[in-house]
Amino acid sequence: MALDFPLYLGALFVKSVFLPLLLSLLLVGGCASHPDSEPQPSQDQQQARVMEIASGIEQLEVVASDDDLAWFATAAMRRGRDALAEARAQHALFAAQPDRMYERLGVFSTRSRAEAAEDALTDARQAFAQAQRVRSLAEEALAEAFANRQVLRQLEAPRWYPDAYELLELRLKSLVDLVAAERLTRVTEGEPALLAQQHQLEVKTVRRIYLAPHRTRLEELNNEGLDLTAPQTYQAAAHQLDRAWQAVERNPRDLDGIARQAEITRFAVAHAHHLGNELQQLDLQEKPEREIYLLSLEAQLARLAEVLGLPDLREYPLQQQLKQLLLAAETAMPPGQLALAEEETPEVPSGERDLVDTSGLAAEPVQELNAESLGEPDSER
Contacts of 298 (CB under 8 A, 6+ apart): 314, 318, 321
Of 208, 235, 258, the one marking the end of a domain is 208
**pTM here?**
0.68
Q: What is the 3-state secondary structure (H, E, C) of the chain?
A: CCCCHHHHHHHHHHHHHHHHHHHHHHHHHHHHHCHHHCCCCCHHHHHHHHHHHHHHHHHHHHHHCCHHHHHHCHHHHHHHHHHHHHHHHHHHHHCCCHHHHHCECCCCCCCEHHHHHHHHHHHHHHHHHHHHHHHHHHHHHCHHHHHHHHHHHHCCHHHHCHHHHHHHHHHHHHHHHHHHCCCHHHHHHHHHHHHHHHHHHHHHHHHHHHCHHHHHHHHHHHHCCHHHHCHHHHHHHHHHHHHHHHHHHHCCCCHHHHHHHHHHHHHHHHHHHHHHHHHHHHHHCCHHHHHHHHHHHHHHHHHHHHHCCCCCCCCCCHHHHHHHHHHHHHHHCCHHHHHHHHHHCCCCCHHHHCCCCCHHHCCCCCCCCCCCCCCCCHHHC
Q: Are residues 107 and 180 in the same domain?
A: no
Please indicate, yes or no, if residue 330 is contained in any of the structural domains.
Answer: yes
pLDDT of residue 7: 55
328-330-331 Cα angle (round to 5): 65
pLDDT of residue 357: 40
- Contact between 257 and 251 under an 8 Å Cβ cutoff? The reply is yes
Q: Are residues 136 and 157 in the same domain?
A: no
Give the range of the structural domain holding residue 292, as residue numbers without chain letter: 211-339+349-380
Please indicate, yes or no, if residue 9 is contained in any of the structural domains.
Answer: no
Please indicate, yes or no, if residue 12 is contained in any of the structural domains.
Answer: no
Please indicate, yes or no, if residue 11 is contained in any of the structural domains.
Answer: no
Q: Are residues 96 and 165 in the same domain?
A: no
Please indicate, yes or no, if residue 355 is contained in any of the structural domains.
Answer: yes
Asked whether residue 15 carries a pLDDT value surpassing 60, the answer given is no
Q: Are residues 222 and 363 in the same domain?
A: yes
138-180 confidence digits (pLDDT tens): 999 999 999 999 999 999 999 999 999 999 999 999 999 999 9
pLDDT of residue 361: 33
Percent of the chain predicted with pLDDT > 90:
51
Domain count, the chain: 3
Q: Are residues 362 and 242 in the same domain?
A: yes
Q: Are residues 266 and 246 in the same domain?
A: yes
Confidence of residue 16 (pLDDT cuts 50, 70, 90): low
pLDDT of residue 366: 33
Q: Are residues 268 and 283 in the same domain?
A: yes
Please indicate, yes or no, if residue 98 is contained in any of the structural domains.
Answer: yes
Please indicate, yes or no, if residue 32 is contained in any of the structural domains.
Answer: no
Considering only residues 333 and 184, tell me which one the structure prediction assigns the higher pLDDT. Answer: 184
Average confidence score pLDDT of the chain = 81
Q: Are residues 57 and 76 in the same domain?
A: yes
Task: Please state the separation of Cα 240 from the chain's center in Å.
Answer: 29
204-236 confidence digits (pLDDT tens): 999 999 999 999 999 999 999 988 888 999 999
Q: Are residues 56 and 70 in the same domain?
A: yes
